[in-house]
Structure 1
């Protein structure tokens, strides 16, 4: 077994804890991934019961993808930064807005909470003055009426090559969901 397989097994174990925890709190999750390139969703979808928790996942890798998903001009994103608090907030808000738009059309789906998770960063050559390994991870927590009651953006710098940065960001993002899950017991 190579190191990557061991890390993947650890990530799937963490993903299982995320699915179990969110399911137990009647919560759904939406993920907007850039620097992680779909690895968060890949880990989550390896877990039985994932479809009860994972609302959707979207990989927004290019500036064009971010522009389309976030309904923002390419110029505005370029001005604010493709790796910025601004774009993380837009990714979080757009995933949440899509969820609540769908929910309003389908009252049979009534989770108590919705969590939006987003990642962006630099896994390759430095961009926008940011070094390789710079990663932003954002999370927002919403009640079923759409009210946001918690939001957090964290900046990290991970070492290693592209794969190591992606895996570190994935692990950190999943652990952030578990950390914030305690807030999902609030009335």
Structure 2
């Protein structure tokens, strides 16, 4: 018998399950456009059985130019402010939502560390949400190593979506 390993999203599973259940009940869908989390939000959502009914897909836009090419982020915004900016997160959310044809979009950008990026300190994260009559961004400053910052970012994105689904 194969050894069972818990998924890396074990502690996030109840939150992800709640988001999926709420989306199913509302007959709405979600998509992501992720930079620092590189697909972890989409992976946490799809770790829940039945997620295929509501998760449309996700864009991994780790490289700055892909934020424009895949998620339609304004190249002038990136040139002026860099990739780690609240408006970039908002445009990522809108871009993921639009490209994947979803009701809701989550966009994440930030610095997982250990070093600064374009003068922005490690742990700085912007989470954008776009949906029916909603466009918002939350900025966070997380402590910890790369893995801790990334997982805290996933939690923050799921919590933001769940808050707006209620």
- The TM-score, its normalising length taken from structure 1, stands at 0.78
Matched, 1:120 2:109: yes
1:85 is matched with which residue? 86
Distance 2:25 2:59 in 1: 24
Distance 1:75 1:9 in 2: 39
2:142 is matched with which residue? 158
Aligned with 1:70: secondary structure?
A: coil
Aligned residues: 160
Paired residues of 2:73 and 2:92 also in contact (CA < 8 A) = no
Moved more, 47-56 or 77-86: 77-86
Paired residues of 2:94 and 2:129 also in contact (CA < 8 A) = no
Distance 2:89 2:136 in 1: 10
| Aligned match for 1:140, one of 117, 121, 130 | 130
Aligned with 2:103: secondary structure?
A: strand
2:9 is matched with which residue? 8
Which structure is larger by alpha-carbon Rg, 1 or 2? 1
Distance 1:22 1:68, change over 3 A: same
Distance 2:97 2:21 in 1: 21
Matched, 1:18 2:19: yes
* Superposed CA RMSD: 2.0
- The TM-score, its normalising length taken from structure 2, stands at 0.87
